[in-house]
Amino acid sequence: MATPADQKTQRRLAAVLAADVVGFSVMMGQDEEGTLSRIKDLRREVLEPKVHDHLGRVVKTTGDGILVEFSSPVEAVRCAKEIQECLAAAGSGESSKALELRIGINLGDIIIEADGDIYGDGVNVAARLEQLAEPGGIWVSGKVYEEVRDKLPYSFEDRGEQQVKNITRPVRIYSLRAAPTNTGSPNTRPALPLPDRPSLAVLPFTNMSGDPEQEYFADGVVEDIITALSRVRWFFVIARNSSFTYKGRSVDIRQVGRELGVRYVLEGSIRKAGSRVRVTGQLIEAANGRHVWADRFDGELADIFDLQDRITESVVGAIEPSISRAEIERASAKPTHDLDAYDLYMQALAHYYAHTKPASDEALRLLGRALELNPNYSSAKALGAVIYNLRFAQNWADQAEVEAGIQLAREALADHHDDPTTLSRAGTAVAFLARDFETALAAIDRALMLNPNLASAYGNSGLIRAWVGDWITSIDHFERENRLSPFDPLMGYSVGHSLALLGAGRPEEALTWARKAVQELPNFLAGLRALIVTLVELGRVEEARVVGQRLLAQDPKQTITVADRQIPHQDRQFRERLFAALRTAGIPE
């Protein structure tokens, strides 16, 4: 029988090395058997011998990764450097077949399971460093750096303190670069400076079908994506003639980023099988090879032009929120003394998505700093207006804040007539705060004309059209928004979708969207009200009363009078339905 001493958790201090193969998913999609064979060779011929030489222990391997424990951080770093040097040497020949690794190393306390597996922050930080490292690179924590800095003849670059996922405190990070991999032609072009906004290039998609006739389809998809992305005014998009100079070449994404002066690169492939075609795409951060987004699309060649349009719509609709998230992460990692108006705007956007009063306070403070640096920054004004929208919807704003939101929205609309996101946000704020639906509809229609793939514009259009009682168009635009961006953090769209379905006489469907809104944002007052109304109209009164108590607990000042001020719907009969349901659920006058 096990004693308490036997069951006591085992811990020890260890250097943990985490590594994975760059681009594993893409390679598997192209050649599963060949990729697995190359990774097995990598483990047998390089990884396991080097770990053995440096007295490490392989804890476990995954499809594309390896986790190793060392008793010495010096040996862990030596092992990592030798591994990268071996891979760099292998890549100096046939680069298309060379594998690249990212490696992260941390020194910390670990928990050891009976089967030898290890857990804890010591492991988690190593895994996060590996994810941040560039292909061919080695990133180490500050603890590792302090142990090896005077013991190894290697140079390190201080990457500063960075907040990493699921780790409470920021981690000091240093990078050590192994020998560079082969980048193709020695006659590479000089690096170009990055623009002051998100920049990207779309490379020609690789035709993997063996059918030369499919080249025109692949090229057509790329040209349509470039054209559609060019409509996003806050993107800097490389023209087709420049990106197509890489057609038919095996290229290093980092080299493409340097030569074209872009932060992101979109690449993909096309494969034909019988009457069907599969197109894959992946968005990559050029500087470090990190995959920001990836997806695949299948369809019938008989509908080739419809398939081409669908792929373009889906790719463009997904890329904008993906780049927004990546830019937020990048701006959040910058030192506070190095922030410009754009970085302040991106940080404010992250706080806005938190949907709490303290976070909205901070977002408005950051936007105030951004507007001090650039008083004509219409994107910052439009975002400020929708933050005041949120504060008004949550009963956090007084009349002065409502007026401030209206002023910011009108200034944004006056300053900028050609930025779809600014038009969409400012138009929604003018509708919600000022009840100026004529101006709002003109702004939202122009946003959709300028960028027919902008998910948030369809969502905001759905809101405004529900508010004016155009249920059919509202539902259609909410469906398009959800198809373009199914994981959008703005669950106000789910609330609007629910109420539009209710207005159209489809309460069962409305209930699904109301529940989704409350699940995603449990404290969002509009979502709780939408759930109450759908439950009452479906005859589920007791459930509605329970939600009514949640609403009052969240906002004790919530009354029918407050709801009358906050609910923007113009259809008088529909408003009375909403108020009647709230009364039934126990909301006081």
- Of 557, 493, 546, give the one whose Cα is nearest residue 520: 493
Could you tell me which residue, 201 or 545, shows the higher pLDDT?
A: 545
Place of tokens 């958790």: 9
Same domain? 64 vs 162: yes
Same domain? 546 vs 587: yes
Same domain? 291 vs 220: yes
CA angle 520, 571, 529 (to 5 degrees): 25
- Of 525, 473, 475, give the one whose Cα is nearest residue 499: 475
Please give the mean pLDDT across all residues of the chain: 83
- pLDDT score of 4 more than 50: no
Q: What is the pLDDT of residue 27?
A: 76
CA atoms in the 13 A half-sphere facing the CB of 283: 23
Distance between CA atoms of residues 131 and 166, nearest Å: 13
- pLDDT score of 212 more than 70: no
Distance between CA atoms of residues 504 and 544, nearest Å: 21
Amino acid letter, residue 327 = E
Backbone angles phi, psi at 517, to 5 degrees: -60, -45
- Of 323, 306, 295, 305, give the one whose Cα is nearest residue 229: 323
| Banded pLDDT at 137 (limits 50, 70, 90) | confident
Q: What is the pLDDT of residue 96?
A: 45
Same domain? 460 vs 324: no
Instruction: Write out the two tokens for 585.
Output: 């659920």
Task: Spell out the residues 6+ positions from residue 531 whose beta carbon is closer than 8 angstroms to its own.
Answer: 498, 511, 514, 515, 517, 518, 544, 547
Same domain? 165 vs 242: no
Distance between CA atoms of residues 143 and 157, nearest Å: 14
Whether 581 and 537 have beta carbons less than 8 Å apart is answered as yes
- Residue length of the chain: 589
Q: What is the pLDDT of residue 10?
A: 85
**DSSP 8-state symbol, 212:** G
Q: How many domains, in total, are found in the chain?
A: 3
Place of tokens 């977002």: 363
Could you tell me which residue, 382 or 236, shows the higher pLDDT?
A: 382
Most confident of 267-271, 287-291, 506-510: 506-510
Distance between CA atoms of residues 421 and 261, nearest Å: 24
Task: Spell out the residues 6+ positions from residue 262 whose beta carbon is closer than 8 angstroms to its own.
Answer: 194, 199, 200, 201, 236, 238, 256, 286
Determine the longest span between alpha carbons in the chain, in angstroms. Answer: 79
Q: What is the pLDDT of residue 166?
A: 67
Beta bridge partners of 103: 19, 138
- Of 102, 141, 145, 148, give the one whose Cα is nearest residue 124: 141
Distance between CA atoms of residues 305 and 174, nearest Å: 49
**DSSP 8-state symbol, 179:** S
Same domain? 481 vs 546: yes
Instruction: Write out the two tokens for 47.
Output: 């990884």
**DSSP 8-state symbol, 8:** S
Whether 134 and 254 have beta carbons less than 8 Å apart is answered as yes
Same domain? 87 vs 143: yes
Task: Spell out the residues 6+ positions from residue 20 whose beta carbon is closer than 8 angstroms to its own.
Answer: 62, 64, 65, 66, 101, 102, 130
Mind listing the pLDDT tens digit for each residue in 86-121? 888 776 544 445 688 999 999 999 999 888 889 988
Same domain? 14 vs 155: yes
- pLDDT score of 47 more than 50: yes
CATH number at residue 493: 1.25.40.10
The answer to the question of residue 440 being in a domain is: no
CA atoms in the 13 A half-sphere facing the CB of 400: 0
- Note the pTM of the prediction, 2 decimals: 0.58
Amino acid letter, residue 313 = E
Q: What is the pLDDT of residue 178?
A: 46
Same domain? 470 vs 588: yes
Quote the domain boundaries for residue 459.
454-589
Distance between CA atoms of residues 341 and 370, nearest Å: 4
Helix, strand, coil shares, percent, the chain, to 5: 55, 15, 25
CATH number at residue 121: 3.30.70.1230
Task: Spell out the residues 6+ positions from residue 340 whose beta carbon is closer than 8 angstroms to its own.
Answer: 196, 373
User: Of 296, 331, 366, which residue is a domain's last?
Assistant: 331
The answer to the question of residue 434 being in a domain is: no
Same domain? 163 vs 273: no
